[in-house]
Structure 1
Amino acid sequence: MNSFTFYNPTQLVFGKDSIEKLPAMINQFTSGTKVLITYGGGSIKRTGLYDRVIGLLEGFEVFELEGIEPNPRLSTVKKGVQLVKDNNIDFILAIGGGSVIDGTKLISAASTIDEDPWKIVTREVTPTAAVPFGTILTIAATGSEMNSGSVITNWETNEKLGWGSPLVFPKFSLLNPEVTYTLPKNQTVNGIVDSMSHLLEQYFNEADNSAVGDAMIAGVMKAIMKAGLAVQDEPENYEARETLMIGATVALNGFMRMGYNGDWATHNIEHAVSAVHDIAHGAGLAVLFPAWMTYVSGKSPERFAQFAEDVFDVDASLPQEEKVKAGIAGITDYWKAIGAPSSLSEFDIPESDFEVFADKTLFNGPFGNFYKLNKEDVIEIYKLAH
């Protein structure tokens, strides 16, 4: 294992009564009264969550930023920064999934500088302060509710980049699985794929010994898969929603990567696609991860065979090649079974775009910690996914 220091200061408040604790949680982190709420396309108004939150914020002066996109855009972040600066906002509350939270993280940090927020994303500027913020999670997917990472899309340049800072851990996150009952099926499916992909990125890692991580990842992935099947027919199955929500959180809050970094090449490959075609991140991962696994498995078949044993209980006595195929088929078949897409052609993405995508992935040179990819590798993965 690599040497590491674990740090996660986010207070996670989980359960059916979690949202009612909102006023007390905010008061822990500010003595001010000006709160900016950020959210997406308005589903929180249709479900009643918006009215519930506004009622709880009685006594605070509330400002709003509506319309943070599924792939949060720099232009929308800039609107939020201006709101914070113009109104001397004391606290920000993100209500939504990973996109809303990711956008809010950049608003939080960029509101303390006089530079273009994009310079934080490109690491030209390092923030030294951030406006405190919390979250009310509405989608089990990204884990952004309990980590310090964020992904932002610059639609003007068709770039989608990740960044992070210890300053943008949420102060608290309120998780009530009941609020996910009304999610459209495709959003639930994309969330399942996203959380499983985070686990896959970390299972295929650069360490010589990740035995504890392997065991945790396999256990969480099995739990997510079982719950993911349950909500297909029972969207209001509380126990299954509970499992999906906590599963997505622990998949990317640092617990699963103590002693290694994981690979993360597939996320880079997907970001290049959705920066141009604006498809849902989970949908892109459902297509691209099996392609990456197929392409890379021949470079380290023993690891993929171990994956099949750990996650799909494949018979250890089988030939290695059969185990490798069984593991990849297990992921592919499961995602198809819950209704995830399986090819780039389903999004009308032409092969002529592959070189453009590949160039975007290589802005820092060859990438991937488990297996390094160059341009030719990336193009072949896109072909396999088509």
Structure 2
Amino acid sequence: MTYTYHNPTIIEFGEGKIESITNYIPKDSKVLFVYGGGSIKKNGVYEQVVKVLKDYTFFEFSGVEPNPTVETMNKAVEIVREKNIDFILAVGGGSVIDGCKYLAAASLYEGDGWDFLDGTSQPKAAVTLGAILTLPATGSESNSGTVVSKKATNEKRYFFSPFIFPKFAVLDPSVMATLDDRQLANGVVDAFVHTCEQYITYPNNSPIHDGYSETILKGLVKLMQTWDKRKEYSWHEDLMLLANQALNGFIGAGVPQDWATHMIGHELTAFYGIDHGRSLAIVQPQLFKVMFEDKKEKLLQMGKNILNIDDANKVIDKIEELYNSVGISTNLNDYINGDKEVISKITTALKNHNMTALGEKGNLTLDKVEQILTLALKPKEI
């Protein structure tokens, strides 16, 4: 193992922690308060944030989509430049935070911010960013990655930069009380797949990385198995912390990582608007079947240490069963409205994005993507 691990984001965890943001935003800052479709006005978060910012000069930008687009975020770039904003406050789930990471970097870049997403340029600076998390799932509140879409071309891409780590992240589980079942299910599945992408690869020699991943997975399995408790504060508390730890960078440091499920899932979202968590649930079990020989040792380890199952194939079945138990269909046919071109669209997009050798070994080729999607196109139940 060899790696560099650095995570500068301050975590303020617990009820009432929104008030703490004044400790980290300089009093003379010009703040842009960014949020999504307005759900924060129903759960009391908007009111809390406005109250905390009362002594600051601040502006608002709303309307960030569930899959943030450059088209929307570039409107915010204009505000940052026009108003000389020097602090961005992202209030929402992973989409709002991801959009704000793009915003922070693009605002200080003379070219087209999409350059960061297509890999032609890297950020050299970013406006300081803070986050108040309202929907746990992505872990974006304390990592250096962002995923942004381009509506004009049906693309969903990502970039990483040390400049876009949030300065702080507020994780207050009480704000989750108004989340619906769809949001909660997406969150728990997203966090589960994030962990699997860094764990279900091939055996490594790091008991702490495996052990920590298994602890996170055990916690997420328990949340799915106690779905009837999903309105309780302790359930929210566990999901908020588990999702954060699933993708704060540590469990993947120095160990093999996959991410093929995400790359395929991103294309499904770009073309069909499928919720991110659901796109992952569609792809992952079928990917495990197609890449079974590469993954069977870790699947067996997961079965033994987490699920009390001693058959790797049954581990895959159990994962799919867990997703279905929280109301997430793993049948691609339930999402694409009969589109017969789905496989060619996804494989062509991956090819165009130079993603023709995915996975921890680089051996998940486009023919295997086709097999995965074929398996995902299950007959609809009558």
Counterpart Cα distance in 1 of 2:75 and 2:119? 21
Find the residue that maps to 1:26 and give its secondary structure: coil
1:140 counterpart = 2:136:
yes
Counterpart Cα distance in 2 of 1:261 and 1:139? 28
Counterpart Cα distance in 1 of 2:362 and 2:321? 24
Residue in structure 2 matched with residue 46 of structure 1 by the alignment: 42
Tell me which amino acid in the other structure corresponds to 2:358.
F
- Report how far residue 355 of structure 1 moved: 1.2
Counterpart Cα distance in 1 of 2:85 and 2:297? 53
Cα separation, partners in 2 of 1:247 and 1:334, compared to 1, 3 Å: same
Counterpart Cα distance in 2 of 1:149 and 1:190? 19
Residue in structure 1 matched with residue 369 of structure 2 by the alignment: 378
Find the residue that maps to 2:67 and give its secondary structure: coil
Q: Is the 8 A contact 1:101 1:144 kept in 2?
A: yes
RMSD between aligned alpha carbons? Answer: 1.5
TM-score (ref. length: structure 1): 0.93
Cα separation, partners in 2 of 1:140 and 1:229, compared to 1, 3 Å: farther
1:240 counterpart = 2:259:
no
Find the residue that maps to 2:89 and give its secondary structure: strand
Residue in structure 2 matched with residue 105 of structure 1 by the alignment: 101
TM-score (ref. length: structure 2): 0.94
1:313 counterpart = 2:308:
yes
1:167 to 133, 147, 163: 163
Residue in structure 2 matched with residue 360 of structure 1 by the alignment: 349
In the alignment, structure 1 segments of 5+ residues that lack a partner are: 316-322
Residue in structure 2 matched with residue 131 of structure 1 by the alignment: 127
Find the residue that maps to 1:197 and give its secondary structure: helix
Cα separation, partners in 2 of 1:179 and 1:229, compared to 1, 3 Å: farther
Q: Is the 8 A contact 1:227 1:241 kept in 2?
A: no
In the alignment, structure 2 segments of 5+ residues that lack a partner are: 378-382
Residue in structure 2 matched with residue 156 of structure 1 by the alignment: 152
1:293 to 267, 288, 309: 288
Q: Is the 8 A contact 2:97 2:141 kept in 1?
A: yes
Counterpart Cα distance in 2 of 1:206 and 1:221? 17
Q: Is the 8 A contact 2:224 2:325 kept in 1?
A: no
Find the residue that maps to 2:82 and give its secondary structure: helix
- Report how far residue 267 of structure 1 moved: 0.2
Cα separation, partners in 2 of 1:370 and 1:339, compared to 1, 3 Å: farther
Residue in structure 1 matched with residue 380 of structure 2 by the alignment: none
Q: After the TM superposition, which residues 180-191 of structure 1 pair with which residues of structure 2 at under 5 Å, given as runs?
A: 180-191=176-187
Tell me which amino acid in the other structure corresponds to 1:4.
Y
Q: Is the 8 A contact 1:98 1:144 kept in 2?
A: yes
Residue in structure 1 matched with residue 205 of structure 2 by the alignment: 209
1:58 to 54, 61, 72: 54
- Report how far residue 226 of structure 1 moved: 1.3
Once the two structures are superposed, residues 325-354 of structure 1 have per-residue CA deviations (whole angstroms, 9 ceiling, x without a partner) of 121011111111111112111112524221
Once the two structures are superposed, residues 5-30 of structure 1 have per-residue CA deviations (whole angstroms, 9 ceiling, x without a partner) of 11100001101121111222213xxx
Tell me which amino acid in the other structure corresponds to 1:5.
T
1:337 to 325, 340, 350: 325
Counterpart Cα distance in 1 of 2:136 and 2:99? 17
Q: After the TM superposition, which residues 199-278 of structure 1 pair with which residues of structure 2 at under 5 Å, given as runs?
A: 199-205=195-201, 208-230=204-226, 232-278=227-273
Once the two structures are superposed, residues 265-323 of structure 1 have per-residue CA deviations (whole angstroms, 9 ceiling, x without a partner) of 010000011111111100111111111111111344333222211221224xxxxxxx1
Residue in structure 2 matched with residue 325 of structure 1 by the alignment: 313
Counterpart Cα distance in 2 of 1:370 and 1:206? 9
Counterpart Cα distance in 1 of 2:338 and 2:366? 19
